[in-house]
């Protein structure tokens, strides 16, 4: 499969490595990036020689989250208008397709998937990582999450810890993410790629059918407990918070929440180092 503009694809033996390739914008998730990533996952799934899929990223960070208004994304939005009559309908349909449906589809890929995270992994970045089966992280990786369109946090770290993270809204270090159970392995930044690929190749040494059945059995356990239903219901809760934010904007005549969020993310990305437990500043 040839490299895509925003996603690089390479096969290393039995391992397919997908790399988000939008470093200028810290791999912010535009419609184009998500669509090309979906195509790359499909290609890796359909390739009978691939047994394990690794998702990585170019540049300083794994992902700065949702694209909140880069020039390319805004131009793409004009060329690919969202269907629907009202803004609420358009935003809901776009979000459902690109964050809920895609994430569930990636979660159900019949091959093991590994997110290789370095630098910042914020909001939308957390969504993509959480849709993978395993997560490796560099020792300098930093995470932030919230009530997101694909909300699996209680399944990833447990209900009580999920409430703590949501109420506290702090930056999560790689070590804390491992302690919480969201990250499987933490390695030095300079060793992350090599050791992730070695681990992926080790996993690929298992029979393809066994790997598929292992994954299917765990996912079926979650689905029997209501995973898919709860995730889809939480998507509506996310959009209720968006409506709430817009009502607050109208009441105080202030800066739109999207602009405030972009400013908060930009300030966060400029910090060279965040101390353990430091709080984020996004007003939701």
Q: What is the pLDDT of residues 101-121, one digit of tens each?
A: 999 999 999 999 999 999 999
User: What's the pLDDT band for 161 if we cut at 50, 70, 90?
Assistant: very high
What's the token pair of residue 248?
């607050």
pLDDT value at residue 80: 78
Query: Which residues are CB-contacts of 270 (< 8 A; sequence separation ≥ 6)?
Result: none
Q: Where are the alpha helices (DSSP H) in the chain?
A: 31-46, 71-79, 87-95, 102-107, 124-131, 153-157, 159-168, 174-180, 192-204, 208-224, 227-252, 257-269
pLDDT value at residue 262: 58
pLDDT value at residue 253: 65
pLDDT value at residue 177: 98
How confident is the prediction for the chain on average, in pLDDT? Answer: 89
Provide, rounded to the nearest whole percent, the portion of the chain with pLDDT above 70. 87
pLDDT value at residue 281: 37
Mean pLDDT of 115-142: 98
What is the secondary structure of 117-185 as a DSSP string?
E-SEEETHHHHHHHHSSEEEEETT-EEE--S-SS--HHHHH-HHHHHHHHHH-B-EEHHHHHHHTS-SE
Mean pLDDT of 230-257: 76
CATH topology of domain 7-269: 2-enoyl-CoA Hydratase; Chain A, domain 1 (3.90.226)
Mean pLDDT of 21-29: 95
pLDDT value at residue 88: 78
- pTM score, two decimals? 0.88
Query: Residue 283 pLDDT > 60, yes or no?
Result: no
CA dihedral (143, 62, 135, 146) positive or negative: positive
Query: Residue 20 pLDDT > 70, yes or no?
Result: yes
User: What's the pLDDT band for 271 if we cut at 50, 70, 90?
Assistant: low
Mean pLDDT of 44-50: 97
Map tokens 């209501």 to a residue: 226
273 vs 77, which has greater pLDDT? 77
User: What's the pLDDT band for 284 if we cut at 50, 70, 90?
Assistant: very low
What's the token pair of residue 23?
């470093």
The secondary structure of residue 66, as a DSSP letter, is B
What are the pLDDT digits (tens) for 60-95?
A: 999 999 998 888 888 877 787 777 778 878 888 888
CA dihedral (122, 126, 128, 133) positive or negative: positive
- For the chain, the domains span 7-269
φ, ψ for residue 228 (rounded to 5)? Answer: -65, -40
Query: Distance between alpha carbon 139 and the CA centroid of its chain, in Å?
Result: 18
CB 137 within 8 A of CB 129: no
């Amino acid at each position: 499969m040839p490299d895509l503009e925003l996603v690089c694809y390479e096969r290393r033996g039995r391992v397919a490595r997908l790399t988000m390739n939008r470093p200028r914008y810290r791999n912010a998730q535009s419609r184009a990036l998500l669509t090309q990533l979906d195509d790359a996952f499909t290609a890796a799934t359909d390739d009978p020689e691939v047994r394990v899929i690794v998702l990585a990223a170019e540049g300083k960070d794994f992902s700065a989250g949702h694209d909140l208004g880069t020039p390319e994304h805004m131009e793409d939005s004009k060329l690919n208008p969202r269907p629907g009559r009202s803004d609420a309908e358009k935003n809901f349909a776009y979000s459902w397709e690109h964050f809920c449906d895609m994430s569930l589809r990636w979660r159900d890929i019949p091959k093991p998937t590994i997110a290789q995270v370095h630098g910042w992994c914020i909001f939308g970045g957390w969504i993509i990582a959480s849709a993978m089966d395993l997560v490796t992280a560099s020792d300098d990786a930093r995470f932030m999450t919230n009530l997101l369109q694909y909300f699996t946090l209680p399944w990833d770290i447990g209900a009580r810890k999920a409430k703590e993270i949501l109420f506290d809204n702090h930056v999560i270090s790689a070590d804390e993410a491992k302690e919480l159970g969201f990250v499987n392995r933490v390695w030095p930044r300079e060793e992350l790629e090599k050791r992730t690929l070695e681990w992926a190749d080790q996993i690929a040494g298992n029979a393809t059918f066994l790997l598929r059945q292992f994954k299917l059995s765990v996912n079926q356990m979650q689905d029997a407990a209501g995973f898919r239903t709860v995730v889809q219901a939480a998507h509506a809760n996310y959009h209720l918070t968006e409506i709430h934010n817009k009502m607050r904007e109208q009441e105080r005549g202030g800066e739109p929440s999207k602009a405030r969020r972009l400013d908060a993310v930009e300030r966060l990305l400029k910090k060279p180092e965040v101390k353990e437990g430091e709080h984020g500043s996004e007003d939701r």
